[in-house]
Homo-oligomer: A and B are copies of this chain.
């Protein structure tokens, strides 16, 4: 035994290696699609050996799910913080829209994974819905409810439907942006989307009453 033997110890998990793998996975999934992406592609993009992936993730699917979970956890947490900083439904819807479009508009690969790759099977989708999407919609729904309580939003608004319509509009902005050949700023669509959601598309005759919204049956929402 020489004096240096104490140096030799089990190497610790290199910090940051897990993140490098996740970053590599975003790139590879976005470019090739989840199914066509090979674990070996991700490994080589991350600069690690194939087997190393399995020291950090249980399976290829686990990479995708972890990716989603970790980004969503951070996104929702930060969103709640930002939300707490402003007052009123209108401002809060604006915060949500901007936050949503900023997250995805800032990284096209990530947006592709979120909009396309993650939705490739009901298996993932169900997990998505049961989990984060439910939380996400709950945040929107709370803001709408708050707006109805303080009189900012119409009391006759079918809340769940409005929540989905708002989310659906944002979601489509992102999908459309991804698939567009043109480069344009996604975040700048946040304000118009909120304004359209709030004010509606109809031309507005001051003297005429706006018709009441139809009641929606016991839908799931």
Q: Which residues of chain A have a CB within 8 Å of any CB of chain B?
A: 2-8, 10, 30, 33-36, 49, 90, 112, 116-117, 119-123, 125-126, 129, 144, 147, 151-155, 157-158, 161-162, 164-173, 175-182, 184-185, 188-189, 191-193, 195-204, 206, 210-211, 213-221
Residue in B35, B172, B196 whose CB lies within 8 Å of A213: B196
Residue of B nearest to A158 (CB): B192
Given the known interface contacts A120-B33, A121-B117, A220-B180, the answer about A155 and B199 at a Cβ–Cβ threshold of 8 Å is no
Closest to A184 in B: B219
Chain B residues, Cβ within 8 Å of A125: 116, 175, 178-179
From A158, A161, A211, residue with most partner B Cβ within 10 Å: A161
A8 to chain B, nearest CB (A): 5
Complexed CA–CA distance, A184 and B5 (Å)? 53
Partner of A126, one of B126, B177, B179: B179
Q: Which of A4, A175, A182, A201 has the most CB of B within 10 A?
A: A201
Is A185 touching B220 in the complex (CB atoms < 8 A)? no
